[in-house]
Chains A and B, each alone.
Chain A
């Protein structure tokens, strides 16, 4: 489903429709930022690198022939951009001694790159506390639905089967769980935003 949409959007970009590339950015921005953030802990830097990755992807899209899925291709560009950024930064600043091999290890040990300030750490802990409260305050069926989705990675159909309810009900439960959490977190996230 998602690959078909990507193929259509990529074809449109290749024909000169820049708006279609905006759609791809909207669709994948959070995934790419999260991916880059595994390598570059600072959220602001991670976003700059993610943006650079998208621009590189746009420039290279003319040569994309669809041998792999678009996201797989974009994923590789993002990882290479992040690694190159780390290498360039380590050259600029001798305090960061990171090379490609180190960058590879980061994915498995994100805490090594945790450069967060104590303030940020505290804010993050506050957000986690509110999140836990919000989840605990959810009705049982909503909590189960969102847990199966987020932690087990189950599809809506699988969740429907597991919970013995229609897929439409699963759609609604997951949405309402997210919405309930969002309402509780929004005041904190607005203040905690770094831009």
Chain B
């Protein structure tokens, strides 16, 4: 250990070392325990001069505290702010409202069945539009079933509707 470093330790003990050098010294002390021992010996001399009593500090003083703190993992990591329940409620209400609007529209406009099953799309291509009332020929339960089927993922892999994705099938249907 060179004298310059030791002089810095002496100045650090007296709070006479500037900020940047103090930080640098502390970093060195954490890696090199010989430096900490020197600080503790200088501190012991100071205490001895003033109090006529020798008070040594154990070499593992810092390490013991450090080990104990290490066990308290993440104790001081800034806590995450919990999501406000108001936002959760708003999100839930918005979802329910959206579902209600979509369902109502589907029931009220039976002529517009935007998401028919591919089989039905094919049928509509070949069959001319019926002149009679749709709701009589195409009851509500059947339409709901068709709607649910149209949302089944298997529609993409069943080889029907020319492998068109559902969005395209829907667009085709709504243009009609």
Please give the residue numbers on chain A whose beta carbons come within 8 Å of chain B beta carbons, in ascending order: 1-2, 4-5, 8, 13-16, 18-19, 21-23, 25-27, 29-31, 33-34, 37, 43, 46-47, 50-51, 54-55, 58-59, 61-62, 123-124, 127-128, 131, 135, 146, 149-151, 155-156, 171-172, 174-175, 178-179, 181-182, 185-186, 189, 192-195
CB distance from B83 to the nearest CB of A (A): 22
Q: A4-B19, A189-B54 are in contact. Are A55 and B77 (CB under 8 A)?
A: no
Residue of A nearest to B20 (CB): A5
Per-residue CB contact flags for chain B residues 50-72 toward chain A (1 = under 8 Å, else 0) read: 11111111111110111011101
Please give the residue numbers on chain B whose beta carbons come within 8 Å of chain A beta carbons, in ascending order: 3, 6-7, 10-11, 14-16, 18-19, 22-23, 26-27, 29-30, 36, 38-62, 64-66, 68-70, 72, 74-78
Name 6 interchain pairs, CB-CB below 8 A, sorted by A: A26-B39, A43-B56, A47-B61, A124-B53, A131-B45, A171-B11
Q: B66's contact among A14, A22, A172, by CB below 8 Å, is which?
A: A22
Chain B residues near A192: list those with CB within 8 A. Answer: 54, 56
Q: B14's contact among A34, A128, A174, by CB below 8 Å, is which?
A: A174
Chain B residues near A146: list those with CB within 8 A. Answer: 49
- When the two chains form their complex, are residues B29 and A26 in contact, meaning their CB atoms are under 8 A apart? yes
- When the two chains form their complex, are residues A21 and B69 in contact, meaning their CB atoms are under 8 A apart? yes
Chain B residues near A59: list those with CB within 8 A. Answer: 72, 75
- When the two chains form their complex, are residues B7 and A172 in contact, meaning their CB atoms are under 8 A apart? yes
CB within 8 Å: A-B pair count: 155
CB distance from A56 to the nearest CB of B (A): 11
- When the two chains form their complex, are residues A25 and B66 in contact, meaning their CB atoms are under 8 A apart? yes
CB distance from B74 to the nearest CB of A (A): 7
Residue of B nearest to A36 (CB): B55
Q: A55-B69, A61-B76, A174-B14 are in contact. Are A186 and B55 (CB under 8 A)?
A: no
Chain B residues near A50: list those with CB within 8 A. Answer: 61
- When the two chains form their complex, are residues A189 and B41 in contact, meaning their CB atoms are under 8 A apart? yes
CB distance from B64 to the nearest CB of A (A): 6
Q: In the assembly, what is the distance between CA of A149 and CA of B61, in Å? A: 27
Chain A residues near B19: list those with CB within 8 A. Answer: 1, 4-5
- When the two chains form their complex, are residues A1 and B54 in contact, meaning their CB atoms are under 8 A apart? no
CB distance from B28 to the nearest CB of A (A): 10
Chain A residues near B15: list those with CB within 8 A. Answer: 1-2
Residue of B nearest to A123 (CB): B54
- When the two chains form their complex, are residues A156 and B45 in contact, meaning their CB atoms are under 8 A apart? no
Q: Which of B7, B40, B53 has the most CB of A within 10 A?
A: B53
CB distance from A15 to the nearest CB of B (A): 7
Q: A54's contact among B3, B65, B77, by CB below 8 Å, is which?
A: B65
Q: In the assembly, what is the distance between CA of A47 and CA of B65, in Å? A: 11
Chain B residues near A127: list those with CB within 8 A. Answer: 48, 54
- When the two chains form their complex, are residues B10 and A178 in contact, meaning their CB atoms are under 8 A apart? yes
CB distance from B150 to the nearest CB of A (A): 51
Q: A34's contact among B27, B47, B62, by CB below 8 Å, is which?
A: B47
- When the two chains form their complex, are residues A179 and B22 in contact, meaning their CB atoms are under 8 A apart? no
- When the two chains form their complex, are residues B26 and A29 in contact, meaning their CB atoms are under 8 A apart? no
Residue of B nearest to A24 (CB): B26
- When the two chains form their complex, are residues B30 and A23 in contact, meaning their CB atoms are under 8 A apart? yes
Q: In the assembly, what is the distance between CA of A146 and CA of B13, in Å? A: 13
- When the two chains form their complex, are residues A150 and B69 in contact, meaning their CB atoms are under 8 A apart? no
- When the two chains form their complex, are residues B11 and A175 in contact, meaning their CB atoms are under 8 A apart? yes
